């Protein structure tokens, strides 16, 4: 039986909803309660989704606020790879505020993936 899932999102949130959909999927897994522990990892261009100056609605994308409200209700843990925000020219201060948003390095990334029953890239 699957008890833990890691979803990795690394594609730009502009022009596609895959990063937002990763949060929706993760919220769904987490809403199942104690059965499935789900964590979402954002790396690569996907980190731009969490830039507090980003306005997805300006380019016809789904609102991040609505999706984060769903994530918040389900206590979804969201991780951002620190090196990805650095490569994007951003800092932690540039990121939105979300209680379950954590910044991680490669050691924690490999630990999360290695300890999950299933991991997939979305």
Per-residue pLDDT, 34: 65
For residue 9, name the pLDDT band (cuts at 50, 70, 90). Answer: very high
Give the number of C-alpha atoms closer than 13 A to the C-alpha of residue 60, restricted to the C-beta side.
Answer: 2
- Cα(103)–Cα(92) distance, integer angstroms: 8
* pLDDT of res. 33: 62
Q: How far is CA 4 from CA 17, 36, 58, 85, in A?
A: 24, 5, 35, 26
| % pLDDT > 70, the chain | 97
> For the chain, how many helices (H) and strands (E)?
4, 5
Sign, CA dihedral 50-54-55-58, equals negative
pLDDT band at 20 (very low <50, low <70, confident <90, very high): confident
Count of all residues that appear for the chain in the document: 122
Which of 32-41, 54-63, 80-89 is predicted with the least confidence, judged by mean pLDDT? 54-63
On the question of pLDDT at 55 being above 80, the answer is: no
Which region among 44-53, 57-66, 85-94, 97-106 has the lowest average model confidence (pLDDT)?
57-66
Which tens digits make up the pLDDT trace of 23-51?
989 988 877 666 788 999 999 999 998 99
Q: How far is CA 70 from CA 26, 66, 109, 117, in A?
A: 10, 7, 24, 24
Residue 51's DSSP bridge partners are 95
Spell out the domains of the chain, with CATH numbers in brackets: 4-121 (3.40.1260.10)
């Amino acid at each position: 039986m699957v008890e833990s899932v890691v979803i990795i999102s690394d594609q730009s949130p502009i022009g596609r909803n895959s990063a937002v959909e990763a949060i929706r999927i993760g919220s769904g897994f987490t809403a199942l309660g104690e059965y499935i522990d789900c964590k979402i990892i954002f790396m690569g261009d996907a980190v731009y989704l969490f830039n507090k100056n980003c306005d997805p609605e300006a380019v016809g994308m789904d609102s991040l606020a609505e999706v984060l409200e769903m994530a918040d209700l389900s206590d979804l843990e969201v991780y951002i790879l620190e090196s990805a925000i650095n490569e994007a020219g951003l800092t932690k201060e540039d990121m939105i505020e979300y209680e379950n948003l954590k910044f991680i390095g490669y050691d924690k990334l490999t630990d999360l993936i290695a300890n999950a029953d299933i991991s997939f890239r979305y």
